[in-house]
Amino acid sequence: MNVRVGVFWMLFGLSLTAALMVSLSASMQQRPDRAVSYAKDVAPVIARYCLPCHAEESQNSSELSLDTYALMMRGGKHGTPVVAGKPDESILIRKLLPDPPFGETMPLKMRRRSASGAAKKLTEQEIDLLKEWIRQGAKGN
């Protein structure tokens, strides 16, 4: 085998290994097995997408305030939106998906466009994060 062919196969092997490692780490990120924190992970998502309408002082017909963990757990018209351990039964999640059990899919569109770009849809990763938090017991950690 001449040197060029040898170098070719060496580089080929290296890039295969690199590609494998990248796809492995990507698949590992999909379901975080670390503890999801209310303060660090959940609250920022809620603040960005939901607080423009679900803050305590806003006149929201659902009567649901999401400013704090305690207010979220108190819930609105339809009771507490979170069933600990059961994301699929939690209104908080079901209202984010197409075909919610009542009313509109959240976040509802803003009438006026806000500078922060609020009311855009959550990404799949953000929804997964909220689900994982509920799966882990929806703690106020």
| End-to-end Cα distance, the chain | 61
Residues that bind ligand HEC (CB under 6 A): 49-50, 52-54, 60-62, 64, 75-78, 81, 91-92, 95, 102-104, 106-108, 110, 119, 122
Distance CA 17, CA 74 (A): 51
Nearest distance in Å: CB 14, ligand HEC: 44
Nearest distance in Å: CB 63, ligand HEC: 7
Nearest distance in Å: CB 33, ligand HEC: 24
Q: Which is nearer to ligand HEC, 18 or 63 (CB)?
A: 63
Q: What's CA 134's distance to the chain center, in Å? A: 11
Distance CA 69, CA 83 (A): 14
